[in-house]
Each structure stands twice: as structure tokens, then as C-alpha cells.
Chain A
Amino acid sequence: MSDIATAGRTPALSGNDAAAAGGNWSVPDARRVLQLCLAVVWLLDAILQYQSFMFTKAFGQMLAATAAGNPGVIARPITWSAGIIEHHPVSTNAAFAAIQLVLALGIAWRPTVKVALAASVVWAIAVWWLGEGLGEVLNSAASPVSGAPGAVIIYALLAVLLWPADRGGEPAPFVAARAVGARAARALWVVLWVSLAYFSLMAANRAPQALHDMISGMASGEPGWLASLGNGAASLVAHQGLAASVVLAVVLAFIGVAVFLPVPAARAGVVAAVILAALIWVFGEALGAIFTGSGTDPNSGPLLALLALAYWPSRAAVPAGSVAVTPAQHPQPEGH
């Protein structure tokens, strides 16, 4: 039984009796709520994998295309696995979808949360490599607007940061710090957002029409209202690639360093991250291309927002090393 589910019960409800009586349940704390949100995203991902497009050879061909531009040592396994998927699209895709479904329900079901989170890290890394070509971070084509560094690696990051354990020592200033400690959590945050700032300044992304073409390209095949939104946003940044990239990089860099700033600024950084993630999701990723019937996942927007929420500074610090926090002990344990 995970530690998240042991708070708030009377001593009379323990062991097998407590489990049978439904005693191993407590009101979800902030971390558990974020875990459940992660499970919802995994479930959406799994069901998108059951779409008819994914059972065709085209899915394997789409995966094979992610090998382009990557070093040989990265590209060859992608081509190899894509070939297998292309030749056996039904069986392989059914297995992929089933795995993701099990991961989602495993995270949601308390007795299996640790196993499911650990498995999700392994699965996410495999998909990041073999399904997303490492998010194009090695071929100079990565852009935060189009989903860099790859949505699936953020699943793995979230699984690590939301791991249901508490690190001993100093109090955790935000949820993401509870499992790995504040220093490691901040380091991961900085690496992610500053690398996104760097990607936005790469030559391919600061070309005059780069952002325009990226956004307008996503509008193709989308419903009219979403295509209109995308085209409108694209027209705003037409021939403004350099300026837009610089502004975006500045915002991303601010978000990256915000976790080191005083609480009000840190909160501003988290809010900025959520807003930016929403803008990226709507305009840059067209809601993960879900409406085209070929979207394999909701893309990075929702995951970046979820990640940002895990860094919301606590009003009342969570004591590190505590097994669980009950509402009675901490009415607003994470400031939620």
C-alpha cells in the first residue's frame, strides 16, 4: 500500500481488515491529485492510440519519419522498430494501447501507483526514443511551440517528481520537491525551461516565417474554428520570426529561473508557465491534433501545465519525511 493512502484512518482500521473495509483510502492531497491528472492524460493517450489510423501501416511510417536528422546510433533503432510496427500494425498497436491503458489505471489505483509510475518512466523513455526521435532535440528542429522536448519525456519527468515518497531533511517548498528534494527538482525545472528557451532561439526557429509556418501548418485538417484560431495567430507572427523567438526565449528563461526567486515571483513564473503551455497547446499544437484522427497524444501543452502546478510554492511547507499529510494536520498543505 502506498503511503499516500494511509493517512487519516483510525488505528482500528489496519492491515487486511482495513483494506477489506475500504480503510486504505484518504482524501487525495495535492500530489495525489496531480498523479490522478497524470493518469487522465495517460488514459487519453491510450484511447487515442486505439484510433483507426494507429492500426494502419501509416502509423509505422510516421514513426520512421522521426529518425530523419538524428545520429545513426539513434536513428537505426527507430527505423528498425518502425519497420516491425509497419509490418504488424494491428498487433503492435493493440499492445501499445493496452500498455498505456494499464499504466493509466495503474496510477489511478492506489495499490499499484508505484509500479505504474516506475513502468511509465521506462515506457516513456522507450517511446521518446523510438516513437518521437528524442523529440528532435538532436537535429536542430526542436521547437517549444511544436512540442519539444517531446511530450512523452515529460510523462517520465512527472512520474519521477510525483513519486509517492517523501525525502527526509528540509521541508518541501512545493509538491515536486517532496520525492527528489528541492535542489534536484529545481535543477530539472531549469534544465527543461532553459533548454526550451535555447530551442526557440535556434536558427530554424528564428527565421522570419518559421513560427508562422509552424502554426499555420498545424491548422491543416483541423475543424474550422481551430484552424481559424491557428491562422489568426500565424498572421500575427508573419515575418516576425526573430522578434517572436526572442520574446518567447525571454519568457521561457524567466519561467526557468522563477523557482529560485521569492514566492510571489515564483508563483508568477508558475502562472506564466501554465498560460504559455495553454497558448502553445492551442496555437502551436492545435490541441495535439486530436481532431485530425491522427493525434497519438495530447502533446506537450497539458503536461507542461501539469508540471508547472507541481512547482506551485506551498503556503504551508510540507514536512519532508512525513508519510502522509492529512487535511486536519494541514488544511492547505500545498496551497491548493
Chain B
Amino acid sequence: MDMGGPFWLPDLLGALTLVIAAYCLGRLVVWRTRGRPTDVDVDVVHGAMGVGMAAMLVPSLSPVPDVTWAWVFAVAAGWLAWRIVTVYRQAGGSARIAQAHYAPHLVMAVAMIYMGVAASGPAAGGSAGGGMAMGGSGADGHFPLGALVLALFMFGYAVWLTDQLTGIATVRTWRTAPQLALASAGVPTAAAGGRPEPALAAQAAPVVRAAVAAHAAAAGELATADGGAPSPADAADRKVPLSPRLEAGCHIAMAVTMGYMLILMV
């Protein structure tokens, strides 16, 4: 891949995306083995994205041509689109939240498709090893305005998510004061008589409400798969989301890195 600039930059970013991919896959392991709720769909997609981005940034790491990644993320985008449709069909106020939750990840998957296709085009200098040529004036066949629009989306998403970081309860709070954490997410609590507190519900960060909804869905799916009832201690642990702030931080890093890759393609 012809990234230009210092050699360490793509290597560094490739290492970062691989670490994030490993972290996402680790979250899935903990979800499966310990029952801690997480966004399963998002973790799977981001795990694949981390590997795919590293392969595009450092082609020597890629076992497959770039166009293969485009196909992988076409499947991922289709899955996320299907999830949005299914959630939309469900009744209840969380439909729009979940829709908003999956939509950014769908756009990220589309960006991966774009990068895979553009990098594997004949004018992009794709190598036999799947090398990805970035940079250029846009006269080489791909659609630079699309890359710019996607990059701006990534920057907007990263900033939007960063703004909401202070609205995300820590794991410690989820363990020690789950009612407080739920209340901060605008979720109905016993303290409020089982009703959502309107002021809090309106003020809760969208990413928090979406995460709580997705976590609840994941916990329900796992309980269904496991069958028997967990012990009280396990049941309490299963209500504690997996590092929600760290998860958001990973998404911010992914969005910024993806924006960087897209800017190199405009």
C-alpha cells in the first residue's frame, strides 16, 4: 500500500485497529462465558472492521485481496440493515433508539465496502498481495466526493460520541448503584415507581439509551440460550454492561482512523 508519509503511521494505526478488534472479540468471549451484556452485533462487526482496516493499512498483514473485505462488509452491512428493519418493526419507544444505534455502524460498514472496492480498482494500483493504494486527486476512477462525505460522517460520529462520554455510567456505578446508572440512562426504575423519569429520559445521552436497550436484548438472548436460571450473584453480574465507556472510546478511535483512511482516498 502506498500510504505516503512516515512509515510508522499506518503501522501504528494498524496496530491500534488490531488491538480494538481483539478487544471486541474479547468482549464477545466474556459475554458468552460470564453472561455480561454487550452489543453482540456491534462487537462482531467492529472486530471484523479492526482486522479489515489493519489489512488495508498494512497490506502485508492481509491474507486476502482488498475486494474480499468489501464482500465481508457487504454481508455485515446487510446484517445491520436487517437489524434496523427488525427493530423498526417492533413496537415501543426503543425502536428509534436502536435504529440510531445501528445506523452509524451501518455507515461504517458501507465505508469499509467503499474502501475495499476503491483500493482494489485497477487504477488504484492494487497488488497481487491485496495492496491498497491510497491518495491521489480522485482522477483514478473512484468517487472522491463519496470518500469525503463518509469521512465527514466519521468525524461527526466521533465528536458526537465523545460529547456523550460523560453521560455513560461507569462499570463501578453499575455494580454499586445500578439504580443510579439506570436512572441516568432514562430507564424506568423502582425508585420512580417503575416509570421512566421524563426529565432523565429526555436528558439521557442517546448512546446510553441505545446501549442499555442493546445490552438488555443481548442478556435476554443469552438467557434464552443458557436455559436454566443463574445464581443470584451471576444474575447481578449479568446486569453490569461490559466497560461501556471503553467501548465508546474504541468506537471513537475506529471512526477517527476510518476518517483518516477515507481522507487519504479523496
B247 to chain A, nearest CB (A): 13
Q: Among A9-17, A75-83, A118-126, which stretch is in contact with chain B?
A: A9-17
Q: Among A43-51, A204-212, A236-244, which stretch is in contact with chain B?
A: A43-51
Instruction: Please list 10 pairs of residues, one from A and one from B, whose beta carbons are closer than 8 Å in the complex, sorted by A's number.
Output: A10-B197, A17-B177, A21-B169, A25-B208, A40-B155, A47-B263, A52-B264, A90-B5, A223-B145, A293-B136
What residues of A have a CB within 8 angstroms of the CB of B252 in the complex?
Answer: 105
Interface residue A20 (Cβ < 8 Å from any Cβ of B): yes
What residues of B have a CB within 8 angstroms of the CB of A40 in the complex?
Answer: 152, 155-156, 159
What residues of A have a CB within 8 angstroms of the CB of B199 in the complex?
Answer: 8, 10, 328
Interface residue A5 (Cβ < 8 Å from any Cβ of B): yes
A32 to chain B, nearest CB (A): 8
What residues of A have a CB within 8 angstroms of the CB of B204 in the complex?
Answer: 22, 25
Give the CA-CA distance A19 to B166 in the complex, in Å: 7
Interface residue B214 (Cβ < 8 Å from any Cβ of A): no
Contact among B135, B139, B151, B202 with A52 in the assembled complex (CB-CB below 8 Å): B135
Interface residue A139 (Cβ < 8 Å from any Cβ of B): no
Contact among B4, B173, B184 with A55 in the assembled complex (CB-CB below 8 Å): B4
- Check A21–B137 contact: CB distance below 8 A: no
- Check B264–A51 contact: CB distance below 8 A: yes
- Check A52–B263 contact: CB distance below 8 A: no
What residues of B have a CB within 8 angstroms of the CB of A71 in the complex?
Answer: none
- Check B159–A108 contact: CB distance below 8 A: yes
Interface residue B259 (Cβ < 8 Å from any Cβ of A): yes
What is the 8 Å Cβ interface bit string for chain A, positions 20-47, against chain B (1 contact, 0 not)? 1111111110001000100110011001
- Check A8–B202 contact: CB distance below 8 A: yes
**Which 4 pairs from chain A and chain B are nearest by CB?**
A52-B4, A25-B167, A108-B162, A52-B5
Give the CA-CA distance A50 to B261 in the complex, in Å: 10
Count class of interface residues, chain A: 35 or more
Contact A10:B173 (CB < 8 A) given known A40-B159, A94-B6: no
Number of A-B contacts defined by CB within 8 Å: 156
**Can you add 9 more A-B contacts, CB < 8 Å, to A111-B166, A290-B148?**
A22-B169, A22-B204, A25-B203, A43-B155, A55-B5, A90-B5, A223-B138, A290-B263, A292-B137
- Check B163–A20 contact: CB distance below 8 A: no
B104 to chain A, nearest CB (A): 14
What residues of B have a CB within 8 angstroms of the CB of A22 in the complex?
Answer: 166-170, 173, 181, 184-185, 204-205, 208
Interface residue B222 (Cβ < 8 Å from any Cβ of A): no
A224 closest partner in B (C-beta) = B139
For the complex, would chain A's binding face be called helix, strand, loop or mixed by DSSP majority?
helix
A43 to chain B, nearest CB (A): 4
- Check A25–B137 contact: CB distance below 8 A: no
Contact A293:B184 (CB < 8 A) given known A9-B203, A27-B202, A104-B159: no
What is the 8 Å Cβ interface bit string for chain A, positions 84-126, against chain B (1 contact, 0 not)? 0000001000100000010011001111000000000000000
Contact among B6, B168, B173, B181 with A90 in the assembled complex (CB-CB below 8 Å): B6
What residues of A have a CB within 8 angstroms of the CB of B159 in the complex?
Answer: 36, 39-40, 43, 104-105, 108
Give the CA-CA distance A50 to B170 in the complex, in Å: 33
Interface residue A221 (Cβ < 8 Å from any Cβ of B): yes
Interface residue B256 (Cβ < 8 Å from any Cβ of A): yes
B15 to chain A, nearest CB (A): 16
Give the CA-CA distance A94 to B8 in the complex, in Å: 11
What residues of A have a CB within 8 angstroms of the CB of B6 in the complex?
Answer: 55, 90, 94
Contact among A8, A12, A54, A224 with B203 in the assembled complex (CB-CB below 8 Å): A8
B148 closest partner in A (C-beta) = A290
What residues of A have a CB within 8 angstroms of the CB of B223 in the complex?
Answer: none
- Check B144–A291 contact: CB distance below 8 A: yes
A90 closest partner in B (C-beta) = B6
Interface residue B266 (Cβ < 8 Å from any Cβ of A): yes
- Check A44–B152 contact: CB distance below 8 A: yes
Interface residue A327 (Cβ < 8 Å from any Cβ of B): yes
What residues of A have a CB within 8 angstroms of the CB of B160 in the complex?
Answer: 36
Interface residue A213 (Cβ < 8 Å from any Cβ of B): no
What residues of B have a CB within 8 angstroms of the CB of A24 in the complex?
Answer: 166-167
Give the CA-CA distance A26 to B155 in the complex, in Å: 21
- Check A50–B260 contact: CB distance below 8 A: yes
- Check B203–A43 contact: CB distance below 8 A: no
B78 to chain A, nearest CB (A): 29
Contact among B148, B163, B168, B202 with A108 in the assembled complex (CB-CB below 8 Å): B163
What residues of B have a CB within 8 angstroms of the CB of A108 in the complex?
Answer: 158-159, 162-163
Give the CA-CA distance A10 to B172 in the complex, in Å: 20
- Check B203–A50 contact: CB distance below 8 A: no
Interface residue B68 (Cβ < 8 Å from any Cβ of A): no
What residues of A have a CB within 8 angstroms of the CB of B30 in the complex?
Answer: none
Give the CA-CA distance A105 to B137 in the complex, in Å: 28
Give the CA-CA distance A108 to B161 in the complex, in Å: 8
- Check A51–B4 contact: CB distance below 8 A: yes
Interface residue B9 (Cβ < 8 Å from any Cβ of A): yes
What residues of A have a CB within 8 angstroms of the CB of B164 in the complex?
Answer: 25
- Check B144–A223 contact: CB distance below 8 A: yes
Interface residue A3 (Cβ < 8 Å from any Cβ of B): no
What residues of A have a CB within 8 angstroms of the CB of B264 in the complex?
Answer: 51-52
- Check A293–B172 contact: CB distance below 8 A: no
What residues of A have a CB within 8 angstroms of the CB of B183 in the complex?
Answer: 10, 12-13, 21
Contact among B148, B156, B165, B180 with A21 in the assembled complex (CB-CB below 8 Å): B180
- Check B163–A21 contact: CB distance below 8 A: no
Q: Which of B119-156 contact A (CB under 8 A)?
A: 135-139, 144-145, 148, 151-152, 155-156
